[in-house]
Every structure is written in structure tokens, then in C-alpha cells.
């Protein structure tokens, strides 16, 4: 586990409340109070986007895009077209 010391030092520079590294479902490293409840509302979208992307790349979720935005129902307004006054 060479390099975990460097990761710990780099993470501490960011001053997190806690830090945990999980690999294959097992915690391989942790520091700080990992059991403390933390408000993560500000990272919710980023975290969910990352998890969704992983599921797509692993084939657990299939994305289907049919046509372009212009072909989709846009109420007759083309993208980048100024709205009427």
C-alpha cells in the first residue's frame, strides 16, 4: 500500500472531516471521524453523476438517444434561437 501516506497528506491539506478509500467493497484506508454525519447536499449531483456514469460504463444502465435535440419536441423553438418578446 505504498502511496497511501501521500494520499493521506494530500487529503489533509483539503481539511476534510473524514476520508475513506473503499476498494472491492472493503475499506482499505480511513482517517478522521468516518462515522460522523455530514451534509453532502453540495456534492450530491456530482456524486450521482459519477455513480450513474460508472453504471453506464459497466453496462448496467443503457442510454438511448433517439435523434438530435432539434428533432426532439422543443415546442417549435430551435436551440440557440432567441425567445420571442
3-state helix, strand, coil in the chain (%, to 5): 30, 15, 55
Asked whether residue 72 is assigned to any structural domain, the reply reads no
Asked whether residue 83 is assigned to any structural domain, the reply reads no
Model-wide pTM > 0.85: no
Splitting the chain (85 residues) into consecutive groups of 10 residues, what average pLDDT does each group show? 77 84 89 83 83 90 68 57 60
Asked whether residue 53 is assigned to any structural domain, the reply reads yes
Tell me what percent of the residues of the chain surpass a pLDDT of 70. Answer: 73
Count: domains in the chain: 1
Asked whether residue 22 is assigned to any structural domain, the reply reads yes
Asked whether residue 44 is assigned to any structural domain, the reply reads yes
Asked whether residue 17 is assigned to any structural domain, the reply reads yes
Q: Tell me which residue range forms the domain holding 33.
A: 4-57
Asked whether residue 85 is assigned to any structural domain, the reply reads no
Alpha carbons 42 and 34: distance in angstroms, whole number: 18
Q: For the segment 45-68, what is each residue's pLDDT rounded down to a tens digit?
A: 888 899 989 998 999 988 776 656
Amino acid at each position: 500500500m505504498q502511496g497511501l501516506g501521500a494520499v493521506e497528506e494530500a487529503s489533509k491539506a483539503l481539511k476534510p472531516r473524514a476520508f475513506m478509500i473503499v476498494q472491492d467493497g472493503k475499506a482499505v484506508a480511513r482517517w478522521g471521524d468516518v462515522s460522523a454525519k455530514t451534509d453532502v447536499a453540495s456534492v450530491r449531483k456530482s456524486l450521482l453523476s459519477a455513480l450513474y456514469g460508472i453504471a453506464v460504463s459497466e453496462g448496467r444502465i443503457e442510454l438511448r438517444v433517439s435523434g438530435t435535440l432539434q428533432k426532439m419536441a422543443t415546442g417549435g423553438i430551435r436551440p440557440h434561437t432567441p425567445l420571442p418578446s
